C-alpha cells in the first residue's frame, strides 16, 4: 500500500522522468504496462532502491541509470528545486498531531523544541499540533511511548466518550489500537480497558464502537490522484451498514452501559447518520442521543430532514479542519 501511495503522490514527476529518458521504450514489459514502470522507477528514485525487485526490472533500470539521473536533474531544473520531493504539491497538508501519554516524565514541548512545536490543540488537551510534514519517526519521545502519532479525527471518539478514571471501558473494534491508547491516557492508567471484537462481560459502562467501514474518509484524500471517485458500491455499503448496526446495537445491549460512542472514517451517510438513527429507533426507550461538542461547527448531515439526529453528531473534514474525513 505504501508503494502505491508513493506512486500516486509522485506520478506527475515520474511521468516527466519517463518522458525525458524514454524508459518505456527501453523494455517491452514496460511498454505493455506503464504502471509497472512507474512502480519500479518510484522505488529507484524515491524509495529504498531496487532490493526485492525482479532481477529483470533491476537490469533495465541499471542499464538506463545514466539517462535516468540526467532526466532527474532536468526535472529538478524545470521545477527549480534541489530535491524532487519539493516539486510535488502534497495531497495531505494536515499538521502532525501527537497524543501525549499522561505519565510522560518530561514536558514534550521541551523535547520537541527542535521540531518547531506550535501549540496545544484547542479542543483536546493532550494533543500537540506540529507543522505539516514534521517527521517524528526517529524521535525518542515516539520510541519510548511518551507520544503517539494520531490524526485528531481519530482522537475525537475517545474524547467524546470521556470515561471517568477507574471505569471499565470496552473498545469494541480495537485494531490497530490508537484509540485504545488514548482511552488509557484518559483513564490515567486506572480502571480496565477491554479491547476486543466480541465479549460477554456485563459490568462495562463505557463502549467505543469504531467498526469496519468503507474507509472512504481516508481514500478520499487520494481521489484527486486517481480516476476512481466512487470506490464503494451500493451493495458493499448496504452490507457494511447492516454490520455496523448490529455492532452498535450489541454495544447498547450491555446491562450497565452508560455511554456509547459510535465513529467511522467514512463520508457516507449510510454508514453514519443512518446507522445511528436506525439503531436509536430500536432502543429509544433506554437511550437518548446527546449533542456532542456543541461548539464544533461541522455537524452531521441531516439530508434536508431525513436524518434529524445529524445535528447531534459531528463530522471532520480536510477542507474545514485539515483532518481525515470522519464521523
Residue 261 φ/ψ, nearest 5 degrees: -110, 130
The pLDDT of 53-79, averaged and rounded, is 82
Higher pLDDT: 94 or 69? It is: 69
Mind listing the pLDDT tens digit for each residue in 159-178?
999 998 899 998 887 777 78
The confidence score (pLDDT) of residue 177 equals 79
Q: Measured between alpha carbons, how far is residue 310 from residues 104, 179, 267, 276, 307 in Å?
A: 37, 23, 13, 9, 6
**Average pLDDT for 242-269:** 93
Tell me the CATH architecture of domain 96-149: 2-Layer Sandwich (3.30)
| Dist CA 47 CA 5 (whole Å) | 12
| pLDDT score of 146 | 78
What pLDDT digit, counting tens, does each position of 291-307 carry? Answer: 999 999 999 999 888 89
Q: How confident is the model at residue 325 (pLDDT cuts 50, 70, 90)?
A: confident
User: Roughly how many angstroms between the first and final C-alpha of the chain, as a whole number?
Assistant: 24
Catalytic positions: 265
Q: What is the pLDDT of residues 102-119, one digit of tens each?
A: 555 445 555 555 555 567
What pLDDT, on the 0 to 100 scale, is given for residue 24?
74
Q: What confidence category does residue 278 fall into, taking pLDDT thresholds of 50, 70 and 90?
A: very high
pTM of the model: 0.56
Instruction: Say if residues 155 and 127 touch (Cβ distance below 8 Å).
Output: yes
The pLDDT assigned to 262 comes to 96
| CATH fold for domain 154-321 | Rossmann fold (3.40.50)
pLDDT at residue 91 in the model? 47
Known binding-site residues for S-adenosyl-L-methionine equal 173-179, 197, 210
Cβ-based neighbours of 293, under 8 Å, separated by 6 or more: 123, 156, 160, 314
Residue 218 pLDDT greater than 80, yes or no = no
- Asked if pLDDT for residue 315 goes beyond 90, the answer is yes
Q: Could you report the per-residue pLDDT of 224-236, keeping only the tens digit for each?
A: 555 544 445 788 8
The residue length of the chain stands at 327
- Locate the domains of the chain by residue range: 2-87, 96-149, 154-321
Above pLDDT 90, what percent of the chain?
24
Q: Detail the residues annotated as belonging to a binding site.
A: 173-179, 197, 210
17 vs 20: CA distance, rounded Å: 5
pLDDT of residue 62: 80
Positive or negative torsion for Cα 252, 255, 259, 261: negative
In the numeric block, which cell numbers belong to residue 206?
A: 463505557
Amino acid at each position: 500500500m505504501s508503494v502505491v501511495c508513493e506512486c500516486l503522490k509522485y506520478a506527475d514527476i515520474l511521468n516527466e522522468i519517463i518522458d525525458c529518458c524514454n524508459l518505456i521504450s527501453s523494455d517491452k514489459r514496460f511498454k505493455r504496462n506503464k504502471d509497472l514502470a512507474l512502480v519500479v522507477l518510484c522505488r529507484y528514485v524515491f524509495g529504498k532502491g531496487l532490493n526485492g525487485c525482479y532481477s529483470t526490472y533491476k537490469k533495465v533500470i541499471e542499464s538506463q541509470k545514466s539517462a535516468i539521473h540526467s532526466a532527474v536533474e532536468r526535472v529538478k531544473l524545470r521545477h527549480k528545486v534541489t530535491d524532487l520531493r519539493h516539486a510535488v504539491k502534497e495531497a495531505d497538508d494536515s499538521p502532525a498531531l501527537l497524543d501525549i501519554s499522561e505519565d510522560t516524565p518530561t514536558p514534550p514541548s521541551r523535547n520537541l523544541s527542535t521540531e518547531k512545536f506550535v501549540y496545544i490543540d484547542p479542543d483536546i488537551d493532550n494533543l500537540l499540533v506540529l507543522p505539516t510534514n514534521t517527521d517524528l519517526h526517529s524521535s525518542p519521545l515516539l520510541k519510548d511511548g511518551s507520544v503517539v502519532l494520531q490524526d485528531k479525527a481519530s482522537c475525537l471518539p475517545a474524547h467524546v466518550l470521556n470515561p471517568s478514571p477507574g471505569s471499565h471501558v470496552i473498545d469494541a473494534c480495537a485494531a490497530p489500537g490508537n484509540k485504545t491508547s488514548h482511552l488509557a491516557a484518559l483513564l490515567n492508567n486506572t480502571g480496565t480497558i477491554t479491547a476486543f471484537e466480541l465479549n460477554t462481560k456485563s459490568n462495562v459502562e463505557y463502549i467505543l464502537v469504531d467498526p469496519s467501514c468503507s474507509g472512504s474518509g481516508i481514500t478520499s484524500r487520494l481521489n484527486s490522484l486517481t480516476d476512481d471517485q466512487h470506490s464503494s458500491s451500493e451493495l458493499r455499503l448496504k452490507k457494511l451498514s447492516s454490520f455496523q448496526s448490529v455492532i452498535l446495537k450489541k454495544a447498547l445491549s450491555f446491562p450497565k452501559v452508560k455511554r456509547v460512542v459510535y465513529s467511522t472514517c467514512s463520508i457516507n451517510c449510510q454508514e453514519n447518520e443512518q446507522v445511528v438513527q436506525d439503531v436509536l429507533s430500536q432502543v429509544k426507550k433506554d437511550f437518548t442521543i446527546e449533542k456532542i461538542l456543541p461548539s464544533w461547527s461541522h455537524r452531521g448531515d441531516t439530508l434536508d430532514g431525513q436524518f434529524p439526529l445529524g445535528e447531534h453528531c459531528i463530522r471532520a473534514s480536510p477542507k474545514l479542519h485539515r483532518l481525515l474525513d470522519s464521523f
